């Protein structure tokens, strides 16, 4: 390839022709479309016209309205969707663009997915120019937000400082050991506290009752408790030899251990309400029977 300078030859080999063949391979055979989806942050497609018949004809457009259109509207909320019910609907979708031009695709024998693809084709073009792929694209002026690349930018971006990925079987330093042990101990402590909280939800009321009974025992029984174990043992032996039954529990001893059952604290109120409801129902039936008596 004739080039005036080695620098220009380097530019052609390293930049221009790789971009050319990459673009050709991506766009395939035929024409390459340079219409862009958005310009200055604004979609070129402004409106989509969908004409359909509610009761007759092919159901593909109706299925598309029910299945793919909500997702399309959620993806491109700035595109106005003009739905036109008609007695004799046009079998096409039409896109109206920012410059006032229109583009239509025939959807007569198309599935809802095919209509969805045609709508995306409408969004992804600007409908202004369509240039065939040729060697003239080597110097085609492309719009760029950051500015076009030129050879003076070879060393503009310095190399990144890359750190080695830490290996999982590496030898840890003291700081790393402290960090990981602290993290693990914090996790174990959190799990232990969660377990204790779950257990306390079921045991704190019975434990409170147990502590209350223990306090009563220390207050009322321990001062009067006999410390002579031999006397107590001989007393029980004598009682057993005579064939006497164990003495029944007195009310004072019974009250010493009586603790309200937390599982049945509200049961008396429930029983009272049920008795009241049964009584009201019984009275209602009695009055009803009195009304149904035959006249005298």
Check pLDDT > 50 for residue 32.
Answer: no
State how far the alpha carbon of 163 is from the alpha carbons of 40, 135, 158, 160, 169, in Å: 38, 43, 15, 9, 17
| Range with lowest mean pLDDT among 16-20, 58-62, 91-95 | 16-20
DSSP for 70-138 reads: HHHHHH-TTSEEEEEE-SS--SEEEEEETTS-EEEEE-TT--HHHHHHHHHHHHT--SS--PBP-GGGG
Q: Which helix (H) or strand (E) holds 51?
A: strand 45-52
Closest CA to 1 of 24, 9, 10: 9
pLDDT at 227: 76
Q: pTM of the full predicted structure? A: 0.37
Which of the 8 DSSP states describes residue 12?
I
Whether 34 contacts 131, CB under 8 Å = yes
Check pLDDT > 60 for residue 249.
Answer: yes
20-139: which CATH topology?
Glutaredoxin (3.40.30)
What percent of the chain is modeled with pLDDT above 70? 84
State how far the alpha carbon of 138 is from the alpha carbons of 16, 18, 149, in Å: 6, 10, 14
Q: How far apart are CA 230 and CA 219, in angstroms?
A: 24
How would residue 82 be classed by pLDDT, with cut points 50, 70 and 90? very high
Q: How far apart are CA 167 and CA 116, in angstroms?
A: 47
Closest CA to 61 of 77, 84, 41, 30: 84
Ranges of each domain in the chain: 20-139, 180-226
Q: How far apart are CA 233 and CA 227, in angstroms?
A: 11
pLDDT digits (tens, 9 = 90+) for 153-211: 887 776 666 788 889 999 999 999 999 999 999 999 999 999 999 999 999 988 999 99
Q: How far apart are CA 122 and CA 43, in angstroms?
A: 11
Q: How far apart are CA 257 and CA 214, in angstroms?
A: 9
Q: How far apart are CA 180 and CA 176, in angstroms?
A: 6
What percent of the chain is modeled with pLDDT above 90? 49
Q: 294 vs 125, which has greater pLDDT?
A: 125
Q: How far apart are CA 119 and CA 156, in angstroms?
A: 41
């Amino acid at each position: 390839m004739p080039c005036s300078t080695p620098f220009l030859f380097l530019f052609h080999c390293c930049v221009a022709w790789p971009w050319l063949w990459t673009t050709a391979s991506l766009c395939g055979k035929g024409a390459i479309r340079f219409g862009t989806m958005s310009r200055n942050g604004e979609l070129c497609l402004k409106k989509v016209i969908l004409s359909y018949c509610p009761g007759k004809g092919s159901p593909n457009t109706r299925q598309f309205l029910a299945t793919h259109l909500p997702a399309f509207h959620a993806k491109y909320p700035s595109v106005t969707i003009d739905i036109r019910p008609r007695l004799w609907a046009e079998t096409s979708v039409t896109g109206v663009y920012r410059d006032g031009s229109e583009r239509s695709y025939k959807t007569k024998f198309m599935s809802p997915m095919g209509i969805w693809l045609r709508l995306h084709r409408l969004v992804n073009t600007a409908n202004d120019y369509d240039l065939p792929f040729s060697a003239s694209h080597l110097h085609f002026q492309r719009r760029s937000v950051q500015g076009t690349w030129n050879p003076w930018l070879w060393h503009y971006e310095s190399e990144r400082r890359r750190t080695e990925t830490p290996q999982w079987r590496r030898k840890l330093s003291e700081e790393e050991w402290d960090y990981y042990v602290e993290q693990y101990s914090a996790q174990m402590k959190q799990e232990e506290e969660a377990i204790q909280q779950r257990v306390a939800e079921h045991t704190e009321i019975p434990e409170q009752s147990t502590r209350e009974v223990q306090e009563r025992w220390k207050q009322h029984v321990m001062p009067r408790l006999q410390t002579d174990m031999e006397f107590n043992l001989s007393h029980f032996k004598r009682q057993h030899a005579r064939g006497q039954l164990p003495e029944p529990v007195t009310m004072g001893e019974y009250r010493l251990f009586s603790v309200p059952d937390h599982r049945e604290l509200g049961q008396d109120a429930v029983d009272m309400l049920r008795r009241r409801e049964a009584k009201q129902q019984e009275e209602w039936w009695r009055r009803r029977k009195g009304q149904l008596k035959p006249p005298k």
